């Protein structure tokens, strides 16, 4: 990136702030200017995210409801049967 000037836009995610602090302490960002977007505006500046997030939530909830119905019909408590692996599988599928 020698000779180039770069503008890096980040949202207000806390890990971005922590990473930026580390990078500035090590003088790693020589030609890079970092600007943060205002809080809670990612979906305004990135409208595609609205559709992606809404679709993900819809599909994830569909898997969760199907899981609840299937386990309820088998006289099992879906809350007790739920674990993180199911949530990861649904997130990947969504």
| pLDDT tens digits for range 52-66 | 888 999 999 999 999
The band of 10, judged by pLDDT with boundaries at 50, 70 and 90, is confident
Give 32-83 pLDDT, tens digit per residue: 888 888 877 766 666 667 788 889 999 999 999 999 999 999 999 999 999 9
Give the relative orientation of helices 84-93 and 47-73 as an angle to the nearest 10 degrees. 130
Q: Pull the structure tokens for residue 86.
A: 């199911």
User: Which of 66, 71, 64, 65 lies closest to 88, judged by CA?
Assistant: 64
Higher pLDDT, 85 or 34: 85
Q: Which residues contact 40 (CB under 8 A, 6 or more apart)?
A: 12
Higher pLDDT, 48 or 8: 8
């Amino acid at each position: 990136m020698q000779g180039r000037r770069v503008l890096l836009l980040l949202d207000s995610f806390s890990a971005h702030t922590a990473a930026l602090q580390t990078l500035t302490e090590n003088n790693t960002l020589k030609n890079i200017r970092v600007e943060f977007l205002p809080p809670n505006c990612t979906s305004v500046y990135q409208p595609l995210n609205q559709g992606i997030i809404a679709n993900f939530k819809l599909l994830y909830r569909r898997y969760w409801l199907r899981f609840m119905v299937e386990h309820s019909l088998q006289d099992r408590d879906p809350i007790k049967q739920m674990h993180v692996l199911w949530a990861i599988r649904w997130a990947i599928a969504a």
